[in-house]
Amino acid sequence: MTVTDETRGVAGVTTTVVHDVVRDATGAVIEDTFDWYAQDTRGNVWYFGEDTTAFEDGEQSTEGSWEAGVDGAQAGPVMAATPRVGDGYQQEFLPGEAEDRAEVLSLDETRGEWTALVETLDTTPLEPGTEEHKFYAEGLGLVLEEGETETVTLVGSDSD
């Protein structure tokens, strides 16, 4: 996952582009995604969509791609400026395509070199039983995702 210095206008908002590449155990790319985030004046971070391509058995799929303001899709908060344990919110919404939800589990987690992380539990009614734990660092954002079948880690930022 790399926070780029690129921006993209989505639903009239200038967003920051985050490039997320998921590889399998052999190093082959299985998903290549560009996500769009923006922060409001109160410090809340919003998710405005994603352009995703999954690769499996020689086939490509863009299922799960969505953009706020297109076909009724709505941006959603991905991290509150002042999160509280127990807070829950709809992060993205495009019926049948993008319905991720999050609940804040902890405000002081440690994972590897990362400390004082906010941990959320992410779920979607589109994939019942699937859970993902995400970890956010103050001033940086998402640094780690731990799922049942994959772990995604921030590897760089164009501002480094």
Name the phi and psi angles at 63, rounded to 5.
-55, 135
| Closest C-alpha to 149, from 8, 15, 23 | 23
pLDDT at 25: 84
Per-residue model confidence as pLDDT tens digits over 41-81: 999 999 999 999 999 888 999 988 999 999 999 999 998 99
Q: Output the six-digit token pair for 136.
A: 């956010």
Per-residue pLDDT band for 99 (boundaries 50, 70, 90) equals very high
pLDDT at 157: 61
Range of the domain at 129: 2-157
pLDDT at 139: 81
CB atoms within 10 A of CB 77: 18
Per-residue pLDDT band for 142 (boundaries 50, 70, 90) equals confident
| Cβ burial, residue 41 (10 Å; 0-12/13-18/19+) | exposed
Give the SS3 label for residue 73: coil
Contact (Cβ atoms closer than 8 angstroms) between residue 62 and residue 49: no
Tally the domains of the chain. Answer: 1
